[in-house]
Structure 1
Amino acid sequence: MRKPGTKKGAVVGSGGQRRKALEGKGPTPRADERPGHPAQRKATAAAKAEQRRTKQEQGPELIAGRNPVVECLRAGVPATALYVALGIDADDRVTEAVQLAADRGISILEVARTEIDRLTGGAVHMGLALQVPPFAYAHPDELLTTAQESGDVPLIVALDGVTDPRNLGAVIRSASAFGAHGVVVPQRRSAGVTAVAWRTSAGTAARMPVAVATNLTRTLRAYAAEGLMLVGLDADGSMPIDDLTLATSPLVVVVGSEGRGLSRLVREACDATVSIPMAAGVESLNASVAAGVLLAEVARRRRAAGRV
C-alpha cells in the first residue's frame, strides 16, 4: 500500500520493486550439483577416478628411471619412444638403453629435462623415460576359442581382486611358462597391464592374451557351460593341491587377492577350491607365488598323464 503523503511506491509486503526487487534463485539443484554437498564431492571424486582409469586404458604410459627403462628394453616390452634428457650424465645404463632402443627401431628423442618432468608427472626419471603404448586387451570368448583350437587341454587363469600390477605381471609370466592359454581380469577392482605389469612379466605379456571381463562371475559360468572346470585357489580350500585330480581336465584356475581371497560369488561358482599346504607359522603366500605353485602342479600332472 502507498503511504499517505509520499510519492514512493508500495513498500510494505511487496518485496521491493525494480532494482530492489527480490530475485528467485530458481529450482533447488540436485544434491550432486550443490557445491560442498557430500553427494557433490563424491560425484566429483568418481568422475576424476573414471578420467584416470580412461587415461590409463587409452593413453600411452611412461616408464621413468634408468633401471626400469633398461629392464623393460631387455625384456622386449613394446615401446614407441625413448626420451633422453639433454645434457644427461651418461652411464652404462643410459648407453645400454639407447643402444637397445636403436637396435629395435624405437624413436630416440632428446628433450629438456623439464619436458620429461611434465610427461612423467614429476616422477624420478634420472633423465630417461620410455613410452609404452596402451595394452590391447582380448575378449574372454577369444581366450576360450584360442584354447579350444590349440589342440591342448584348455587352461585359463582368472584373477579375482588382484590389484597390484606386479602380481598381475608375475601371474602372466607363470601362465606363459606353464602352458596357459590366457588370463582374465575383471573390469573393476583389478590391476591392468600397465608399465609395471609389463616389466614384471619380463615381456611375456606380449605373447599371453589378457582379457577383461565385465562380470567375472558371469564369464566363469560361461566357461563352465563350455565344459571347463573351475578351480579356486583359497587358503581354506576343500582339498589340498596334492589331491587335484581335475588338473588334467579343461580347467580355469581362479586366483583371489592375497588379503580377502576369493569373493563370495566367485567361490560359489567354482567346482572346487584348492589350498596349498605350508609349514607352520606361515599364513599365506603372495597371490602370484600361489598361482605359480598351482599352475606348476597342473602342468606336472598333465605331463605325467600325457595331456600336453
Structure 2
Amino acid sequence: MSQRRSNSRRGTEKDTAKEQDRIAGRNPVLEALRSGAMIDTIYVSQESGGLQEIIQMAKEREIPVKIVTESKLNQLTGGAVHQGVAADGACASYVSLEDLLKRAEEKGEPPLLVLCDGIQDPHNLGAIIRTAEAAGAHGVVIPKRRSASLTLTVGKTSAGAASWLPVARVSNLVSAMETLKEHGVWIYGTDAAGASYTQSDFTGGTAFVIGSEGFGMSRLVGETCDTMLSLPMRGKVNSLNASVAAGIFLYEAVRQRMEKEA
C-alpha cells in the first residue's frame, strides 16, 4: 500500500531461475504439463517456433503464457539452455471468486478479503497471504496482470500459508469488486486522504484493497471502492510496506468482530 508515494520501491518479481524454481527446456516443460504439476506461468520466446503443443496444453489448463524476447528468456533462466520455453512452478492452485464467498458462507461469517492491486513483489504478496491467513480472512484476490502470482517464492515467504488460504486470480479487478458488492461486501480502498481506519465498521462483509508501494491503487480501482481509509503517519516516512498495512487493517477487523461476538 502507498499512502500516495513510497520513497523507495523494492522492484518487481526477481528474475532468477533459482529463486523462482523455473523449469527450462521443451521436454521438461512438456513433462511437467503432462504430469499435472502445478505451474504458475509459462514463458515462450517470440523468436522460437514449434511450441504449439506446449501453448495448447497451457491454454487447456488455463495457465498464462507470456511471450518474451530471447534475451529476456535468457535472463529469466539464468543462462540455462531453454530451447525457447520456461515455466514457473506454483505453490498452490487458484480458486474462483465465488469459492471465497462460499468459504465465508460455510463458516457462517461475513466475508473478510484482501484485494491486491499491483502488488508485484512476490515477497510482499507472500507476506500478505501469511497475515491474512493468520487473521482468519477468507481469501486473497489478485489480478492476472500487473501482479505477483503463486510462485514458489510466494509460498516460501508465506511460511506455508498459501497452502491454506485460497487465492482467486481474476481477469479484471474492478469487475471482481462489483461482484463482491452484489454479495454485500463493502470495498475499502487505502489512501492518505481517506477517513481514519478506526472510524469504519468492519463487522459486515469487508474487502480491503491494498495498492502497490510504488503507485498505490490504480485509478479505476480507486473509483470503484466504497470508502477510502487511511492510517495515521506520525513519523517522517509517509508510507508503510504493503503487507504491514494489510495487517493493520485486517487485525482492526478481527478486533471489531471479536468484540461483537463477546
The answer to whether the 8 Å contact 1:62/1:120 transfers is no
Name the residue aligned to 1:255.
210
Q: 1:210 aligns with which of 167, 182, 200?
A: 167
1:306 paired residue number: 261
- From 177, 181, 199, give the equivalent of 2:138: 181
Q: Do structure 1's residue 244 and structure 2's residue 200 form an aligned pair?
A: yes
The 2-side partners of 1:144 and 1:202 are apart by 24
Post-superposition Cα deviations, 1:262-303, rounded to whole Å, max 9, x if no partner, equal 111111111111111021312100111100111111111111
- SS at 2:169 equivalent: strand
Deviation for aligned residue 1:236: 2.3
Q: Is the 8 A contact 2:90 2:151 kept in 1?
A: no
Structure 1 Cα separation of the partners of residues 151 and 193 of structure 2: 31
Larger radius of gyration: 1
Q: How do 1:129-208 and structure 2 match up within 5 A?
A: 133=90, 135-208=92-165
Distance 2:79 2:215 in 1: 33
- Shift of the alpha carbon at 1:159? 0.4
Residue 11 of structure 1 is matched in structure 2 by none
Contact 1:234-1:256 at 8 Å conserved across structures: no
Q: Identity of paired residues, percent?
A: 46
User: Which residue pairs with 2:183 in the alignment?
Assistant: 226
Per the TM alignment, residue 122 of structure 1 is displaced from its structure 2 partner at its CA by 5.5
Runs of 4+ aligned structure 1 residues displaced above 4 Å come to 131-134
* C-alpha distance in 2 between matches for 1:132 and 1:216: 24
What TM-score, normalized by structure 1, do the two folds share? Answer: 0.56
Q: 1:248 to 1:189 in 2, by over 3 A?
A: same
Aligned to 2:219: 264
Aligned with 2:150: secondary structure? coil
User: Paired residues, what number?
Assistant: 187
Do 1:157 and 1:184's aligned partners in 2 also have CA atoms closer than 8 Å? yes
Show structure 1 runs of 5+ residues with no match.
Answer: 1-55, 64-78, 81-118, 124-130
Higher strand share: 2
Asked if 2 retains the 8 angstrom alpha-carbon contact of 1:156 and 1:180, the reply is yes
Aligned-pair CA distance for 1:304: 1.0
Letter in 1 for 2:199: D
Q: 1:81-92 residue pairs with structure 2 within 5 A?
A: none
TM-score (norm 2): 0.66
Kindly indicate whether residue 17 of structure 2 is the aligned counterpart of residue 62 of structure 1: no
C-alpha separation in 2, matches of 1:242 and 1:223 = 22
Q: How does 1:269-288 map to 2 (within 5 A)?
A: 269-288=224-243
- CA displacement at 1:169 relative to structure 2: 0.2
Report the residue type matching 1:254 in the other structure.
V
